Amino acid sequence: MEGQKPNTGVRGNQSEIQVSEPYRAANRKLHPADTVVDVSGVKIGGGHFAVIAGPCSVESEEQILTVAQKVKASGAELLRGGAYKPRTSPYAFQGLHDQGLKLLCKAKQATGLPIVTEIMSLEHLDLFADVDLIQVGARNMQNFELLKQLGRSQKPILLKRGLANTIEEWLMSAEYILAGGNPNVILCERGIRTYETATRNTLDISAVPVIKAKSHLPILIDPSHATGLPWLVEPLSKAAVAVGADGVMIEVHNNPKEALCDGPQSLTPEQFDHVMQSVLSLVQFEQKAM
Ligand code: PEP
Ligand code: MN
């Protein structure tokens, strides 16, 4: 509406404080306390280390139910699985779409795990009513109309960093959602493009303390997309703990060799179980030391 002031999430006399950064609602200077996002009972942020796990894509009922049960048994608190997939090739598997969302809901019913899945188009928003945490993927980080619309809802949003975006651009994208009136934003560092070819992307681990200094929003690490290599998931998940991230998101497939998307970087449930044991013991060690 014309003349209407944008809701920047800034209350009281904080609105008078001038900051040099272009983001206000996401700015720690104006909101010193850590934001804790409640995803259907699972708290993300504020010292709790949360683990999201599941396949890149939902492929079948058996696949998603099997993986959901296994990752839950290993200690994951949220289930991921793509129904709408952003693929580089139009000939690659695009996801099961609304059918995939239904299968995710079945897995949620069976296990009690809240579900995380990516939205690619505003047109699909109504179908996401039962999704607990809506992912905005790297390729849509600057889809501003999508961000504005998600700002009008109260759903928790997992905002991944764009493939070649700066931290300030990323926080400005978060600002779009916050400024619309939705305070439930979680950031996810998933690796950025560099000249390095040994890994799929380069994990910008320093993004975690930098974000923590600049913003109150929780931040997760996605070591699967950051590296493209399953054996790097464990050391980089431990790095996520050490550097103060609020959790990790890890791809797990019951049969990575046959996966329709991102098989090469996916852990088997057994590998995931091993990673969880070593990561959660590091979390406990850090908590005791504090
Ligand atoms: C994904 O999570 O499967 C995905 C496509 O991630 P990103 O947007 O980080 O590439
Ligand atoms: Mn993937």
DSSP assignments along 86-107, one per residue: --SSTTS----THHHHHHHHHH
- Give the residue from 78, 63, 135 showing the smallest Cα distance to 112: 78
Task: Give me ligand 2 centre to Cα 55, in Å.
Answer: 7
Amino acid letter at 143?
N
Q: How far apart are CA 192 and CA 209, in angstroms?
A: 16
pLDDT digit string (tens) for 10-38? 544 566 789 999 999 999 999 999 999 99
Look up tokens 């206000």; give the residue: 24
As a residue count, the chain comes to 290
Tell me the pLDDT band of 1, cut-offs 50, 70 and 90: very low
Nearest-CA residue for ligand 1 atom 9 is: 138
CA 236 to chain centre: 16
Q: Does residue 227 carry a pLDDT above 80?
A: yes
Nearest CA to ligand 1 atom 10: 138
Mean pLDDT of the chain: 95
Atom of ligand 1 nearest to the CA of 57: 3
257-269: b (≥16 Cβ within 10 Å) or e = eebbbbbebbbbb
Q: What mean pLDDT comes out for the span 236-253?
A: 98
190 lines ligand 1 (CB under 6 A): yes
Mean pLDDT, residues 130-139 taken together: 98
Q: Which residue has the tokens 């050490």?
A: 242
Q: Which atom of ligand 1 is nearest to the CA of 262?
A: 3
Separation of 56 CA from ligand 1 center, angstroms?
8
In this prediction, residue 17 carries a pLDDT of 84
pTM for the model? 0.95
Q: What is the pLDDT of residue 47?
A: 85
Cβ 69 vs Cβ 257: under 8 Å: no
